[in-house]
Amino acid sequence: MFGYLIKRLITTIPVVLMVMVCVFAFVHMLPGDPARLVAGPEATSEDVDAVRRSLGLDRPLPEQFVHYVSRVAQGDFGMSLKTRRTVAEEIGARLMPTVWLTVFAMLWATVIGLLIGVISAVKRGRWQDYTGMIVAVSGISFPPFWLGLLLISLFSVHLGWLPTGGYGTWQHFVMPSFTLGVGVAAVMARFTRSAFIEIAREDYVRTARAKGVPERRVIWKHSLRNALIPIITMVGLQFGFLLGGSIVVESVFSWPGVGRLLVDSVNYRDYPVIQALILLFSLQFIFINLLVDVLYVFANPEIRYK
């Protein structure tokens, strides 16, 4: 297992380099002049040129890229053009609110999605199955920004139960985590139902029933455990999508996370922060996929990596 992990980590190096090339090219294709934004609207052309030289934006793009890669290799992501703080400080101040929001959303979405999926599979063709799939399709169909505004209108404006936005208490987590996780719960329910039905057709499940094994044990031990492999894969991918895809939800609820920081950075053409955030989102997918491979061994001890 250790040798397999080392090989996987080595193979991530060219992937990270490719991501850095794409991100660097993308941010430099954005319209607007960051030197003008830093200098201010009243700055003269000479002032703007001076700012551009100080930021290194007057150098050729290949030279800028090599300089950027060398600094990142040393853990230096540069300075924010907007706040003049280090990029690490900017992201560090916003990272944990996004992580906690994602964790809470993923927890309830996984539990509810699994329950709906298993019940729908066990009661296949009955009203429980139809009801569960209607709920799942509805959850997938709701756009997050519309659902967030609807929740704010109902629970904050009309009922006054929850705050409209911000971060601090558990009440602040309720509506954003629900908005972020409802789509995941819907996907989880449909995916679990499909995987569970496929596993239920296997010979060892029919053999367990023929031996008189209680139905509850057949469902939770024989069927669900063997259906966990594709479910774990889906959970890992969805967790990565939530971490990187919380931009809309954070904007709707004024959540001080990295998603909102990315939006603000794009508007300000804050190149160092944009590059660092997209690189962070890419790395999280790489390491989540690696974690999923490790979890396979715990779900099925017969799996071995070489």
Q: Residue 155 and residue 164: Cα distance in Å, rounded? A: 8
pTM for the predicted model, two decimal places: 0.73
pLDDT score recorded for residue 274 = 83
pLDDT score recorded for residue 136 = 82
Question: Taking the domain 93-299, which CATH number applies?
Answer: 1.10.3720.10
Start-end of CATH 1.10.3720.10 domains in the chain? 93-299
pLDDT score recorded for residue 40 = 67
pLDDT score recorded for residue 126 = 83
Q: Residue 217 and residue 209: Cα distance in Å, rounded? A: 10
Bridge partner list, 86: 79
pLDDT score recorded for residue 204 = 67
pLDDT score recorded for residue 41 = 66
| pLDDT by 10s per residue, the chain, length 306 | 666 667 767 777 787 788 788 877 777 776 666 776 666 666 677 777 787 777 777 777 787 788 878 887 777 777 787 777 888 888 888 888 888 888 888 888 888 888 888 888 878 878 888 888 888 888 777 787 888 888 888 888 888 888 887 777 888 888 888 888 888 888 888 888 887 777 777 666 667 667 676 766 766 666 666 677 777 777 777 776 776 667 778 888 888 888 888 888 877 777 788 888 888 887 777 777 777 766 666 655 555 555
pLDDT score recorded for residue 285 = 76
Q: Residue 83 and residue 60: Cα distance in Å, rounded? A: 25
Per DSSP, the residues of 78-146 read: -B-TTT-SBHHHHHHHHHHHHHHHHHHHHHHHHHHHHHHHHHHHHTTTSHHHHHHHHHHHHHHHS-HHH
- If DSSP codes are grouped into helix, strand and coil, which group holds residue 142? coil
pLDDT score recorded for residue 60 = 78
Q: Residue 214 and residue 209: Cα distance in Å, rounded? A: 7
